[in-house]
Chain A
Amino acid sequence: MFESIGRKACKAANSAYEIFAFTGEAFAAALWTFFHPHRFRFGDAALAFEKAAAGGLGISTGIGFLLGLILAFQSAAALQMFGVEVYVADMLAIALFRELGPIITAIILAGRSGSAFAAEIGTMKVDEELDALTTMGLEPVRFLVMPRVLAAIVAMPLLTVFGELAGLAGGAVVLKLMDVPTVVFWSHVCSASGVFMIAFGLAKSALFGLLVGLIGCGAGMKTKSTADGVGAAATSAVVGAIVAIAVSDGILAVVCYVWGI
């Protein structure tokens, strides 16, 4: 039993070391890129952005619309008993802009793009392309990870905006069915939300994009050259990203509570 605990502890310590080492390497590559912007592979970043943003737009807005619709239906039923169903708009605005918009979009991005990053880089590793980059004097982290992470950071807030707007549209449809005029719905949305709230939500989504990009690429870089290596890397990217999103959102919620934001 002690041997098993010791082995697991060593494995956990090794994983933690690898995560810290990769994060440090990515940070160093980001700094290098900042001082050498002409060496950044903008073409690769644009391609990754197109795949993440344009490819994910349909599902983000679709899920956002359904989420707004369901939330509005569920809450309107209760609020209607008190004749205040119009406040569904306030609730939707706060829920979507502060929490649900960024978090749902991040989970979608983790499932679509995080796994794709891991699979792409993992396949390259199995095919010795990472070794080829290294022996050409090109750092794989700078060459492959930076463009994808930047694409995820930029794509996330954009997808979040579309998801949130679609969610509000879903809510507006429900309230319209309950004879609440759309103009009243939007005026409640505007009064309940503010620039800071929206900006905070978008900043949070950019952070989630960073986590999805880093974890996806990190999982790809650690891919083992076995039959199920790439599949395992994609799974680990999605699970790791979702856990990281939930944990960081929890930490932010506590920080906001303490600071009274």
Chain B
Amino acid sequence: MDTAKDIIVLDKVVAGYPGNPVLEDVTFSVKEGEIFILLGGSGCGKTTVMKHMIGLNPVLAGKLTVDGLEWRRKTRAGLFAKIGVMYQSGALFGSMTCMENVMLPMDEFSRLRRGERVEKAMSLLGDVGLADAADKLPGEISGGMKKRVAIARAMALDAKIIFLDEPSAGLDPITSNALDDLILALRENKGKTFVVVTHELPSIFKIADRCAMFDKARRRMIALGRPQELAAKSTDPFIASFFKRGTTNV
């Protein structure tokens, strides 16, 4: 992993919204094939940083590069092809079946014929263990299943980087654990890079290669590294208290 190339680089980024900076001087990089966690308490700005990384909001200052391309309005279309996003609610389209949701990006951008698109969508649903839910509407499946369909949709255009926003939120521990296993399996089998926003400590310790931790009070990134090392060695009281509960749960 240490020799892998940097696929996302944030250099002195000021994250936030126009007139309302949330975090300053955010500098880190994500390596290809890594599972990288954006970590912190509620309202610390981790989702804001992810929104910059996926191109929904421009950074207020600094430089953000994804797979060698800097996020700009002009480069957005090209960069969207490199990423897939699973939102906290799944954000599936309620009027479409799971299969149609997964096929949607392919319908719009792929040159595959319909039969090939159906085959690929079925294969992706199979990867997330939901081949038998292909004809179901999102309203007919559970929250955890919605998230898995959303992961399949995020991979529909063979994106290199998959962003997951709070994948464990609202899920019971067993479903959450199964989702963690799925993320690990997809990294192993498909070689994807994952950037995950979460504050669920059991998930962090299970799947993270490295994490970046943000603090609302100091308005900056306060730690970067392997979660086990941060939990064991950090002398920062905030980091220590953050990991304290998690280490007892591991």
A residues near B92, Cβ cutoff 8 Å: 129
Which residue on A lies nearest to B87, using beta carbons?
A: A128
A131-B87 contact, Cβ under 8 Å, with A136-B104, A137-B80, A137-B81: yes
Q: A135-B55, A135-B80, A137-B80 are in contact. Are A129 and B105 (CB under 8 A)?
A: no
Return A7 CB to nearest CB of chain B, in Å: 15
**In the bound complex, do residue B91 and residue A137 qualify as a contact, i.e. CB atoms below 8 Å apart?**
no
Contact with B along A25-52 (1 / 0, CB 8 A): 0000000000000010000000100000
B54, B80, B91, B105: which has the most chain A beta carbons within 10 Å?
A: B91
B91 and A129 form a contact (CB under 8 A): yes
Which of these, B56, B81, B89, B109, contacts A134 with CB under 8 Å?
A: B56
Query: Contacts A127-B89, A127-B91, A128-B91 hold; do A137 and B54 have CB atoms under 8 A apart?
Result: no
> How many B residues, CB 8 Å from partner?
20
Q: Which residue of A lies closest to B165 (CB)?
A: A128
Bitwise, B74-89 to A at CB < 8 A (1) or not (0) is 0001001101110111
Given contacts A129-B93, A131-B56, A137 and B87 within 8 Å (CB-CB): no
Cβ of A132 under 8 Å from chain B: yes
When distances are taken between beta carbons in the complex, the residues of chain B under 8 Å from A10 are: none
Q: Is the CB of B93 within 8 A of A137?
A: no
Check if B105 sits within 8 Å of A136, measured CB to CB.
yes
> Taking CB as reference atom, which chain B residue is nearest A126?
B89
**Contact between chains at B80 and A131 (CB < 8 Å):** no
B188 within 8 A of A: no
A178 interface residue per 8 A CB criterion: no
Determine the chain B residues whose CB is within 8 A of the CB of A129 once the complex forms: 91-93
The main secondary structure of chain B at its interface with chain A is loop
Interface flags, B39-77, vs A, CB<8A=1, else 0: 000000000000000111000000000000000000001
A135 near B89 with CB under 8 A, answer no
The verdict on A138 contacting chain B, using a C-beta distance below 8 Å, is yes
In the complex, A135 Cα to B66 Cα: how many Å?
14
CA distance A39 to B108 in the complex (A): 8
**What residues of chain B lie closer than 8 Å to A131, measured between beta carbons?**
56, 85, 87, 91
Q: Mark B139-172, 1 if CB is under 8 A from A, else 0.
A: 0000000000000000000000000000000000
Report the separation of the CA atoms of residues A124 and B93 in the bound assembly, to the nearest whole angstrom: 8
Residues of A within 8 A of B109 (CB): 137
Instruction: With both chains docked as a complex, state the minimum distance between the C-beta of B41 and any C-beta of chain A, in angstroms.
Output: 20
Question: Are A132 and B87 in contact, CB atoms less than 8 angstroms apart?
Answer: yes
Please measure, in the bound complex, the distance between the C-alpha atom of A137 and the C-alpha atom of B55, giving whole angstroms: 10
In contact, B80 and A132 (Cβ under 8 angstroms): no
Knowing A128-B87, A128-B88 touch, does A135 contact B93 (C-beta < 8 A)?
no
Residues on B with beta carbons closer than 8 Å to the beta carbon of A47? 95
Q: Is the CB of B88 within 8 A of A137?
A: no
B108/A138 in contact, CB under 8 A: yes
Set A127, A132, A137: member contacting B77, Cβ < 8 A: A137
A132 touches B91 (CB 8 A): yes
Chain A residues lying within 8 Å of B104, measured Cβ to Cβ, are 136
Residue A136 contacts which of B88, B89, B95, B108 (CB distance < 8 angstroms)? B108
Cα-based distance from A137 to B77 in the complex (angstroms): 6
A131 to B93 Cα, complex, angstroms: 12
**Distance between Cα atoms of A131 and B55 in the complex (Å):** 10
Instruction: Find out whether the CB atom of A132 lies under 8 angstroms from the CB atom of B85.
Output: yes
The 8 closest A-B pairs by CB, nearest first: A132-B91, A137-B80, A128-B87, A128-B91, A135-B85, A129-B91, A136-B105, A127-B89
Q: Which A residues are closer than 8 A to B by beta carbons?
A: 39, 47, 124, 127-129, 131-132, 134-138
- What are 23 A-B pairs at a CB distance below 8 A? A47-B95, A127-B91, A128-B87, A128-B89, A128-B91, A129-B92, A129-B93, A131-B85, A132-B85, A132-B91, A134-B56, A135-B54, A135-B55, A135-B56, A135-B80, A136-B80, A136-B104, A136-B105, A136-B108, A137-B81, A137-B105, A137-B108, A137-B109
